[in-house]
Amino acid sequence: MTINRRQLLALGGLGAAGATLAACGDGASSKQGSDDIEERVVDFAGEHQAGIITPMQNNLHFAAFDVDPKADREAVVDLLTRWTAAARRLVLGGEVSAKGAFGGGEKFPADDSGEAVDHGPSGLTLTFGFGRSFFRDQLGTAGKLPAEFTEMPTMTNDFLRPEFSEGDICIQACANDPQVASHAIRNLTRLAVPTATLRWTQLGFGRAGATGTEQPTPRNLFGQKDGTANIRADEDAELAEHVWIPADSSQPWAAGGTYMTVRRIAMNIEVWDTLQLREQERVTGRDKPVGAPLSGGDEFTEPDFEAVNERGNPKIDRASHLFNVHPAQNDGIRMLRRPFNYVDGTNEQGRMNAGLFFIAFTQTPERFARVHKSMSRDEMFTEYLKTTNTGTYLVPPGVGDDGYIGEGLFA
């Protein structure tokens, strides 16, 4: 049964700000379309998991976990069940349990860490995925590995740190308040003990893509409009063709899910900033002020790769980012992107440790690999980028008012 914010208040663990909202009833302020982003609620239940086609929030906390080698099927099912129950409360602006941060008694550790009390739901979404390593005999999942879940090949600009890549399970927490997103990961991590432990995490800010139909195209840390041609939430036919796993896949339990590929891409910002504007545009293939293709038009004009300048050279360089990742060069493949910017202090050279935490959803991992191979083979852009962390995960379909994430895998 779906628990709304009024019911959650009755169960406890909602906080003062939540009490005020719940007392007002189920008005527009508690719905996804609310203008008040602090009180925006995104339903956890649904055919597909939230946090994929959901209009992008402003902040990310991504986490990957390793399941304890001694854990068995029952322990993992118990964890997924408890995570699901907690997630249903968290997205409503609640705490992980009815006792919450303050109701468990003075002599016991609190169920909830409490730092997000009074912050509201803030559009929080929690999206769960399973890595290839999750499919193993010990958990009873080895025979459920889809044939389509192939390994991601190494790319030319990969400088990967294995200890900060992949993982058995991942959780993507997105919210309009960074503390709400991090509170969710912190408390889900506490609930994981002793079945699973954190492997690696990444914070992101300032969405660098758009999934909502009304969202303008944002800019990444290179100052470019990023994701102009991204699939949007209302493109049902495109989502069915390029994102959602179909019913006739090798493992029917995964139908309605998708594959998430994440890549932490360090950007050589200081070098990029020394380039002339014209050179930056040649590398990207788009006009920097408005994001239009160099062949002309506005941001959303379809690029003309046959257009030439007065010297007879292509207006859009064949080694540009736009040319190499465009569906016309990749058998028509499209993907749904949810990238975020990141800045993690400075690196060993004293430069900004900053870049793009790229998140993409595709119907198969091979589709992502096809586009990325095209980009990395001969694109000028990769001179200014290097990937340090990566992971590919099967995101199972959503759950209804009952059940738990990944239930079909264990049925």
Least confident of 18-32, 81-95, 265-279: 18-32
Q: Where are the domains of the chain?
A: 51-147+156-212+220-410
What phi and psi values does residue 205 have, to the nearest 5 degrees?
-140, 165
CB of 363 closer than 8 Å to CB of 145: no
**Model confidence pLDDT, tens digit, residues 128-164:** 999 999 999 999 999 999 999 999 999 888 999 999 9
Q: Is the model's pLDDT at 4 over the cut of 90?
A: no
What percent of the chain shows pLDDT beyond 70? 91
Residue 378 has a pLDDT of: 65
How many whole angstroms separate alpha carbon 106 and alpha carbon 118? 21
**How far out from the chain centre does Cα 252 lie?**
23
Helices (H), 170-235: 178-192
CB of 385 closer than 8 Å to CB of 266: yes
**Token duo for residue 42:** 């995104």
Residue 225 has a pLDDT of: 92
What percent of the chain shows pLDDT beyond 90? 83
Closest of 188, 317, 93 to residue 326, by C-alpha: 317
Give residue 33's pLDDT band: very low, low, confident or very high (50, 70, 90).
very low
CB of 320 closer than 8 Å to CB of 284: yes
CB of 63 closer than 8 Å to CB of 169: no
Q: Is the model's pLDDT at 294 over the cut of 80?
A: yes
Mean pLDDT, range 303-309, rounded to an integer: 97
Residues with Cβ within 8 Å of 401's Cβ and at least 6 positions away in sequence, in order, are 1, 2, 45
Residues with Cβ within 8 Å of 137's Cβ and at least 6 positions away in sequence, in order, are none
CB of 168 closer than 8 Å to CB of 135: no
**Token duo for residue 319:** 């080694």
Mean pLDDT of the chain: 91
Global pTM?
Answer: 0.92
Cα-based distances in Å from 279 to 271, 296, 312, 380, 410 = 12, 17, 18, 10, 53
Give residue 29's pLDDT band: very low, low, confident or very high (50, 70, 90).
very low
Residue 379 has a pLDDT of: 72
Residues with Cβ within 8 Å of 245's Cβ and at least 6 positions away in sequence, in order, are 146, 148, 254, 255, 256, 257, 258, 259, 363, 397
Mean pLDDT, range 298-325, rounded to an integer: 95
**Model confidence pLDDT, tens digit, residues 326-344:** 999 999 999 999 999 999 9
Residue 375 has a pLDDT of: 81
Helix (H, G, I), strand (E, B) or coil at 103: coil
Give residue 380's pLDDT band: very low, low, confident or very high (50, 70, 90).
confident
Give residue 124's pLDDT band: very low, low, confident or very high (50, 70, 90).
very high
How many whole angstroms separate alpha carbon 265 and alpha carbon 280? 18
How many whole angstroms separate alpha carbon 211 and alpha carbon 53? 6
